[in-house]
Amino acid sequence: MTAASHKTAGPLYAFYYGGQFILLGFQLPFFAGWLTLKGFDPAEIGWITGASLIARLLFGPFVAYWADHQSDERRSLRIVTFFFALSAAVLIFAPGKLLIGAAAALMMWCFGLLVPLTDTAVLRADRNGWLHYGQTRAAGSVFFLATNVLGGALLAGAGVIAVAPAMAMAAAFAFAMTFILPAGAGGRGGAKPVSWREAPKLVSNPAFLIVLASAGLIQGAHAVYYAFSFLRWEQLGYSTLVIGCLWATGVLAEIFLLARARGLAKRFGPATLLAVGGAAAALRWTVIALEPPLPILFVVQLLHALTFASAYLGAIEFLDRAAPLRLVNTGMTIMSTTGVGAVTGVATVIAGYVWDGAGPAAAYFLMAAMGALACFLALFLRRVWHGGKLFE
Same domain, 80 and 157: yes
Q: Tell whether 256 is covered by a domain.
A: yes
Total residue length of the chain: 392
Q: pLDDT tens digits, the chain, 392 residues: what are they?
A: 455 567 789 999 999 999 999 998 888 777 877 888 898 876 687 778 777 877 877 788 788 878 877 878 899 999 999 999 999 999 999 888 999 999 999 998 999 889 889 988 898 888 888 888 888 988 888 898 888 778 777 877 888 889 899 999 999 999 999 999 998 776 665 555 566 667 788 888 999 999 999 999 999 898 888 777 877 887 898 886 787 788 888 889 988 998 887 788 888 899 999 999 999 999 999 999 999 999 999 999 999 999 999 998 999 899 989 988 777 777 887 887 777 777 887 887 788 888 888 989 999 999 999 999 999 999 999 999 988 888 87
Regarding whether 346 and 273 lie in a shared domain, the answer is yes
Same-domain pairing of 159 and 302? no
pLDDT reported for residue 13: 95
Instruction: Confirm whether 56 is domain-assigned.
Output: yes
Over the chain, what HEC string results?
A: CCHHHHHHHHHHHHHHHHHHHHHHHHHHHHHHHHHHHCCCCHHHHHHHHHHHHHHHHHHHHHHHHHHHCCCCHHHHHHHHHHHHHHHHHHHHHCCCHHHHHHHHHHHHHHHHHHHHHHHHHHHHHHHCCCCCHHHHHHHHHHHHHHHHHHHHHHHHHHCHHHHHHHHHHHHHHHHHHCCCCCCCCCCCCCCCCCCCCHHHHHHCCHHHHHHHHHHHHHHHCCHHHHHHHHHHHHHCCCCHHHHHHHHHHHHHHHHHHHCCHHHHHHHHHHHHHHHHHHHHHHHHHHHHHCCCCHHHHHHHHCCHHHHHHHHHHHHHHHHHHHCCHHHHHHHHHHHHHHHHHHHHHHHHHHHHHHHHHHCHHHHHHHHHHHHHHHHHHHHHHHHHCCCCCCCC
Shared-domain flag, residues 287 and 354: yes
Kindly list the distances between the CA atom of residue 232 and the CA atoms of 62, 224, 299, in Å, as whole numbers in the listed order: 39, 10, 18
Among candidates 19, 390, 85, 42, which has minimal Cα distance to 211? Answer: 390
Q: Write the CA distances from 261 to 79, 100, 138, 313, integer angstroms.
A: 29, 39, 9, 7
Same domain, 82 and 207: no
Number of domains in the chain: 2
Nearest of 58, 169, 68, 181 to residue 116 by alpha carbon:
68
Distance of CA 290 to the CA centre of its chain: 27
pLDDT at 68: 76
Please indicate, yes or no, whether residues 153 and 254 belong to a single structural domain of this protein. Answer: no
| CATH code, 277 | 1.20.1250.20
Under a CB-based contact definition with an 8 Å cutoff, are residues 40 and 97 in contact? yes
Give yes or no for a contact between 84 and 78, defined as CB atoms under 8 angstroms apart. Answer: no
Asked, for residue 183, whether it belongs to a domain, the answer is no
Residue 148 within any structural domain of the chain: yes
Does residue 391 sit within a domain? no
pLDDT at 195: 62
pLDDT at 4: 58
- Residue 392, domain member (yes or no): no
Q: Quick one: 316 and 266 in the same domain?
A: yes
Q: Residue 371: its pLDDT value, please?
A: 97
308 shares a domain with 276: yes
Domain with 156, as residue range(s), is 1-178
170/19 Cα distance (integer angstroms): 5
Is residue 190 in some structural domain?
no
Asked whether residue 158 falls in the same domain as residue 226, the answer is no
User: What pLDDT is attached to residue 69?
Assistant: 78
pTM: 0.78
Residues 376, 227 within the same domain: yes
Cα separation, 198 vs 297, in Å, equals: 46
On whether both 272 and 162 belong to a single domain, the answer is: no
- 185 lies in some domain: no
In this structure, the answer to whether residues 149 and 202 fall within a common structural domain is no
Instruction: Please tell me the predicted confidence (pLDDT) of residue 212.
Output: 94
> Where does a domain end: 147, 178, 209?
178
Query: First vs last Cα of the chain: how many Å apart?
Result: 28
